[in-house]
Amino acid sequence: MIIHINSKSQISDIQHDFNQLFPFLKIELFKYKHGYQEASSRQIKLPSNLYIGELAALIPKEIDVTENMTVQQFEKLFEAKLGLNIQVFRKSGSIWLETTMTDSWTLKQQNEHGREISGDPDSH
């Protein structure tokens, strides 16, 4: 699964593409990196209308995302490729929870867990 990125991509474009791949997950970008199993402060969340060209020095044309990579691997991939600090959130009913305590889970596991706890009828 490829997420295409260029300097004219907005954060919202990347969020949309990621959410298409994983409907029970979302990503947010932050000004600063969070520590291991640490939550990111809402005050440093970047607005979704910012262009990647304004934020990242190097802009790859695509980032290959697999459902078997862990949340931690995915977050580190964005940091290595774009120098951006992201945090994955999982849907839990009507709220979104940061996956800080389950960063070792794969994106697929996170998405499936989000489907189950959100009561999606297709989860079985």
Say what the pLDDT of residue 64 is: 92
Mean pLDDT of 47-64: 85
- pLDDT tens digits for range 58-103: 777 789 999 999 999 999 998 888 888 899 999 998 899 989 889 9
Say what the pLDDT of residue 9 is: 92
Mean pLDDT of 39-44: 60
Distance, in Å, from the CA atom of 31 to the CA atom of 76, rounded to the nearest integer, reads 15
Half-sphere exposure of 63 (CA within 13 A, CB side): 25
Domain boundaries, the chain: 2-123
Mean pLDDT of 12-34: 90
Q: Long-range contact list for 70-79, CB < 8 A, 24+ apart?
A: 70/103, 70/104, 70/105, 70/106, 70/107, 71/99, 71/102, 71/103, 71/104, 71/105, 71/106, 71/107, 71/110, 72/103, 72/104, 74/107, 75/103, 79/33
Say what the pLDDT of residue 83 is: 85
**Residue holding tokens 């991509």?**
9
pTM (2 d.p.)? 0.84
Say what the pLDDT of residue 81 is: 87
Q: How far apart are the first and last CA of the chain?
A: 24
Note the residue count of the chain.
124
Task: Write down the number of H helices and E strands in the chain.
Answer: 4, 5
